[in-house]
Amino acid sequence: MLSRTADNLYWIARYMERADIAARLLEVGSRISLLPGVQGYRSEWDSLLQSSGTADGFAKKYGDPVQRNIESYLFFDRDNPSSVASCITAARENARIVRTALTSQVWDALNTAFQELRQLERTPRSELELSLLTDWVMRHAAMVRGAIDATLLRNDGYNFLNIGYYLERGDNTARLMDVKYYVLLPRVDFVGSGLDNYQWATLLRAMGAQRAFHWAYGGEVTAAKIAHFLILNPQSPRSLITCVAGTNAHLARLAKAYGRATLAQSKAAAILAELETTTVDAIIDEGLHEFLSRFIGESAVLGHLMHECYLSGDVR
Amino acid sequence: MTSYFNEMYQDGAVRAPYARLEDWMRTMPAEFRQMKQAEAEALFRRIGITFAVYGEGGDPDRLIPFDMFPRVFTATEWGKLERGIKQRARALNAFLVDVYGRGEIVRAGRIPARLVYQNEAYEKAVVGFVPPKGVYSHIVGIDLVRTGAEDFFVLEDNCRTPSGVSYMLENREIMMRMFPDLFRENRIQPVDSYSDRLRRTLASVAPAKCRGEPTVVLLTPGHFNSAYYEHSFLADLMGVELVEGQDLFVEGEYCWMRTTEGPKRVDVIYRRIDDAFLDPLCFNPSSMLGVPGLMDVYRSGGVSICSAPGAGVADDKAVYTYVPEMVRFYLGEEPLLQNVPTWQCAKADDLKYVLDKMEELVVKEVHGSGGYGMLVGPKSSKAEVEAFRHKVMEDPDNYIAQPTLALSTTPTFVQEGIAPRHVDLRPYCLVGESIDLVPGGLTRVALKEGSLVVNSSQGGGVKDTWVLAE
């Protein structure tokens, strides 16, 4: 497959997943903001911007984080490359470039999302509830994902798409957790408090995993259980280990199909090996924030290797 | 008042090919029609068939208006056209091989040397090179207009990269989806084998150095190009890679594409970019679209390029005048399709006539395309004619003129119901080891009342084109 085509497919997946995450972030934000204010509590909206890496861009354009503006910035703003609108447009543009590598169902799902987005953009904001918008994004992200799973040939393109999804999702799970732990909670002595637990629950809800969590663990929500669920539990669809294992599996299929492995395979295998052998206690000993930062860094290295070993066109 | 040939009605009666459409048209309720029109538009938009109009801003994903009323030919009418089109495509290719070789036609004094060798489109870089199977132009789009039951004229030839074939295919798909009954009642010859035939044609001109099944690619300028949809559509139907210049590189005697598994050799390039952008080392050094060194590989038989660089010299509007002469010279036959009488402003007598009669004529730039840079005398104001007269006087060599043709009309759905609108026709003739033509083409329709300009950039639309079975 053309390297450029592989690159486009990989980015379709990353952008769609990113749009999904932006919507989930918005949902987390609006729920947390329903909590009564706490003295000395940093703005929860500000922390959301930080988690999506868009705080600077927002500050430059709007100044203080006001909910309405944040909603616009994270959803509609084309100046924000991570906004839902930017991501869906970019995903659709990438798809338009590689129409030949997609089934008509996948294209249809992406194009429909884009066409509907343009209608939303023309609708007065006063008629658009936030919950409607976030539902809309998650629905379309799921439709694209579903069309890929149901109709796409299981060839190398399918592997590149999946690697894009898994890398982006793992990265985002790590960021969402990091924001919760490092930015969201104002002081260490809030750990284990009602506020702490409420925030964790909200985080789970944003990941669509609240019920799943209760089925898997039961009882009280604690930081350790959640860390286990979102990092080490292979049953959790968004846990780091699930994402890395997914990346790993699709890289293995590529290696088999192409008859050769690259540095990307060894890197993914190394990250997976660590997750498979570590424990929640070890992670908490290291410090959750430190662990997550390290994971985000490793993930970025893997993304870079994907580029070098498959997508850049300089493969020999 | 000029009278126009109406392809459906003559002398108050319905012509044979349209017989079964009469009822369909009469009994269709207005609401049903509007519903179907909306459905068609939604289908086009969903499939993503849009085009961009350069330099106008606005919606970048614009639809070409689709008219649901088909344009119909009988098998007999088509048979005549087909013979004429194939004859012309053969003559044009013979001309190209000749003028990059010995130039017999020029030596014989049948076409002025200046028109050929000083033509901007004459490619010195390929002089003496004969492409595989002696084919320069692999897809010849011949624009035809009709003025009477038996009267067809060639408006222009497109030997480089004629576009629009995706509309021919999609218009048919959409018509079949929306009106299956029509296809049961009328015996309409299919056009969907076009992509297979195109692939076969391209594979048949693989270079001598190619061993085994040739690797064919379609080279596009990229997704910002207005015809990008068509490029990806054709690549998909043929099952070939859609590449940009950056995906290809030259090493050793071959051209390669960059894949996730390393370099893969390319044998045939169906290019949809102009000569000037093919190879920055040979042509335009500032081109970002091309592949450095490609022309060397091409000339040494490492890769085939379709259409071959230099093919443009045959479809120039000044050379056009001599195509009937090419048919006689190379094939020893009388041309089956007529040219529109053309005055060349480069000739003093012709120039005088054109300047005198400008308000009656259509005046075109020799290298213009897309309906730009032209004047339709009878449809223009005095001031517009005057302004154009000055342009022609300043640079007569750059202009030709033709009589304003009475383009035939076919019924077309318009705001008020159904009304005749002017149409033309572009069939796509494939030339490789053999010569091939699907029964159909792209019918373009001027949607504005009275307008004779069918270009999509100027208010034109498209129709499905039917050729009935015997």
B198 is a domain residue: no
B389 is a domain residue: yes
At residue A186, does pLDDT exceed 60? no
Tokens of A308: 């070098």
Query: Which residue bears the tokens 């959750």?
Result: A288
Nearest to B314 by CA among B435, B426, B158, B163: B158
B250 touches chain A (CB under 8 A): no
User: Are B214 and B113 in a shared domain?
Assistant: no
pLDDT digit string (tens) for A45-90?
Answer: 776 777 777 788 888 888 887 788 888 899 999 999 999 999 999 9
CB burial class (10 A; 0-12, 13-18, 19+) of residue B289? buried
Predicted pLDDT at A41 = 45
B134 touches chain A (CB under 8 A): no
Last residue of a domain, one of B384, B403, B422: B403
Predicted pLDDT at B109 = 95
B3 is a domain residue: no
B202 is a domain residue: no
Chain B residues in contact with A315 (beta carbon < 8 A): 258-262
CA distance B213 to chain A (A): 17
User: Are B219 and B358 in a shared domain?
Assistant: no
Which structural domain range is residue B297 located in?
Answer: 208-302
User: Are B131 and B263 in a shared domain?
Assistant: no
At residue A202, does pLDDT exceed 80? no
User: Are B327 and B358 in a shared domain?
Assistant: no
Closest residue to A100, CB basis, from B47, B232, B261? B232
Predicted pLDDT at B55 = 42
CA distance B161 to chain A (A): 20
Predicted pLDDT at A192 = 59
Mean pLDDT (whole number) for A156-174: 95
User: Are B330 and B381 in a shared domain?
Assistant: no
B10 alpha carbon, distance to own chain's centre:
29
Predicted pLDDT at B369 = 60
**Contacts of A37 by beta carbon, 8 Å cutoff, 6+ apart:** none
Closest residue to A97, CB basis, from B223, B246, B257? B223
Nearest to B314 by CA among B164, B90, B163, B145: B90
CA distance B296 to chain A (A): 22
Band the pLDDT of A188: cuts 50, 70, 90: low
Contact B235 A100 (CB under 8 A): yes
Mean pLDDT (whole number) for A261-276: 96
User: Are B51 and B184 in a shared domain?
Assistant: yes
Assess contact for B171 and B328: CB atoms under 8 A.
Answer: no
B452 is a domain residue: yes
Contact B260 A6 (CB under 8 A): yes
As a whole number, the mean pLDDT across chain A is: 87
Assess contact for A160 and A10: CB atoms under 8 A.
Answer: yes
For A113, name the nearest residue in chain B, comparing CA atoms only: B46
Higher pLDDT: A30 or B315? It is B315
Residue B269: left (phi > 0), alpha (psi -120 to 50), or beta?
beta
User: What three-state secondary structure class fits B63?
Assistant: coil
Band the pLDDT of A43: cuts 50, 70, 90: low
What is the count of structural domains for chain B?
A: 3
Predicted pLDDT at B187 = 92
A5-14, A18-27, A232-241: which range is least confident on average? Answer: A18-27
* Identity of the amino acid at A277: T
CATH value at residue B368: 3.30.1490.270
Chain B residues in contact with A115 (beta carbon < 8 A): 45-46
B234 touches chain A (CB under 8 A): no
CA distance B442 to chain A (A): 23
User: Are B252 and B385 in a shared domain?
Assistant: no
Nearest to A69 by CA among A61, B94, A299, B34: A61
Last residue of a domain, one of B403, B426, B446: B403
Predicted pLDDT at A196 = 67
**Contacts of A267 by beta carbon, 8 Å cutoff, 6+ apart:** A298, A301, A302, A305
For A118, name the nearest residue in chain B, comparing CA atoms only: B59
Contact B260 A3 (CB under 8 A): yes
Give me the count of residues in chain B: 470
User: Are B417 and B384 in a shared domain?
Assistant: no
Assess contact for B459 and B447: CB atoms under 8 A.
Answer: yes
CA distance B23 to chain A (A): 35
User: Are B92 and B163 in a shared domain?
Assistant: yes
Predicted pLDDT at B457 = 73
A142 touches chain B (CB under 8 A): no
At residue A40, does pLDDT exceed 60? no
B177 touches chain A (CB under 8 A): no
Mean pLDDT (whole number) for A169-190: 72
B200 is a domain residue: no
- Chain B, 251 to 290: residues with Cβ < 8 Å from chain A are 257-263
Assess contact for B162 and B270: CB atoms under 8 A.
Answer: no
pLDDT digit string (tens) for A222-231?
Answer: 778 888 999 9
Q: Where are the beta strands (DSSP E) in B107-193?
A: 139-146, 152-158
Contact A315 B241 (CB under 8 A): no
Provide the whole-model pTM.
Answer: 0.85
B85 is a domain residue: yes
Contact A100 B236 (CB under 8 A): yes
User: Are B62 and B146 in a shared domain?
Assistant: yes
User: Are B246 and B380 in a shared domain?
Assistant: no
**N-terminal to C-terminal alpha carbon distance within chain B:** 37
Contact B261 A315 (CB under 8 A): yes
Q: Note the ipTM here.
A: 0.81
Distance CA A94, CA A11 (A): 7
Distance CA B164, CA A234 (A): 52
Of the residues A7, A9, A93, A97, the best mutation for testing chain B's interface (the one with the most B CB atoms within 10 Å of its CB) is A97
Of the residues A1, A2, A156, the best mutation for testing chain B's interface (the one with the most B CB atoms within 10 Å of its CB) is A2
Closest residue to A315, CB basis, from B243, B244, B260? B260
List average pLDDT for each run of 10 residues in chain B, which is 470 residues long: 83 90 88 89 73 48 85 96 97 98 96 92 94 97 94 94 92 93 93 96 95 95 86 92 94 95 96 91 80 94 96 90 96 96 90 92 78 81 91 90 91 89 96 96 93 81 94
Predicted pLDDT at B105 = 97
Chain B residues in contact with A98 (beta carbon < 8 A): 232
User: Are B109 and B131 in a shared domain?
Assistant: yes
B2 is a domain residue: no
Predicted pLDDT at A195 = 62
Mean pLDDT (whole number) for A176-203: 65
Tokens of A182: 């490092």
Q: Where are the alpha helices (H) located in A42-185, listed in sequence order?
A: 44-51, 55-62, 67-75, 84-97, 104-122, 130-151, 156-178
Distance CA B213, CA B266 (A): 11
B233 touches chain A (CB under 8 A): yes
Query: Which residue bears the tokens 């592989």?
Result: A6
